[in-house]
Amino acid sequence: MDIWIAFFRGVNVGGATSLPMKDLVALFKRLGFADTRTYIQSGNVIFRSPSIQRSDLAKRISDAMLENHDFQPVVILLSIKELNEAVTSNPFPEAETDPKSLHLYFLAECPGNPNFESLHQVKSKNERFALKGKIFYLHAPDGIGRSKLATKAERFIGVDSTARNWRTASRVLEMAKFF
C-alpha cells in the first residue's frame, strides 16, 4: 500500500464547507483507505491506499465528499517524496523562523503559462515568491492576510491550488515519514 498526503482546498474555511476531521477519517475508511490521520482542522490527511492512479484517487475522494458532505473540494495528492522535495527545495530558508509568513501553494498540475508580470505587479515590496514545478512559494513577512499576492496567486498561476503555511507543510511531512 502506498502512503499519500491529501491537501483539501477550502475545508473549514468561512463556515461554508464545515467538516469535522473525525467525519473525514470515517469517509476515508469507507473508501477502503488505511491508517488515516489528519493534522489540524483544515483538510490535511495522511493515509495508505492500494496502488492506484493519482488522478483516479483524487477524483474518488472528491466525488465521495460531494456525495457524503454536499461539497466537492479540490484535492491535491502528494507522495511523501513529493512533499519532502517541496519542503527541502524551499527557496527562502531564512523565512522558516517565521512559519506563518511562508506559504507553499500545492498546484494541481504544472502551470502552462503563469502570468509572472501580474504576480510581480501585485506583490508588496517585502514579498517574495518562486514557482518550482508544481509548488508556488510565497514569503509574506507582513502577513498573509494583508497580501494581495496571496489572494490573486492562483488566478495568475492559472491552475487549481491549495496553500499551507510552513509549519503545517513541515509537520505533515514529519507525520508521514513516521507512518
pLDDT digits (tens, 9 = 90+) for 126-173: 999 999 999 999 999 999 999 999 999 999 999 999 999 999 999 999
pLDDT of amino acid 90: 98
Task: Compute the CA torsion angle 164, 27, 20, 161 (nearest 10 deg).
Answer: 20
Fold held by 84-177:
Alpha-Beta Plaits (3.30.70)
Q: Which residues of the chain does CATH 3.30.70.1280 include?
A: 2-81
Assign 10 a pLDDT band (cuts: 50, 70, 90).
Answer: confident
Q: What is the pTM of this model?
A: 0.94
pLDDT (tens digit, 9 = 90+) per residue, 84-102? 999 999 999 999 999 999 9
Res. 13: pLDDT tops 70: no
Res. 12: pLDDT tops 70: no
Beta bridge partners of 38: 45
pLDDT of amino acid 52: 77
Class of domain 2-81: alpha beta
d(CA 15, CA 11): 9
Give every CB contact of residue 107 below 8 A, 6+ residues apart in sequence: 76, 134, 135, 136, 157, 159, 160, 161
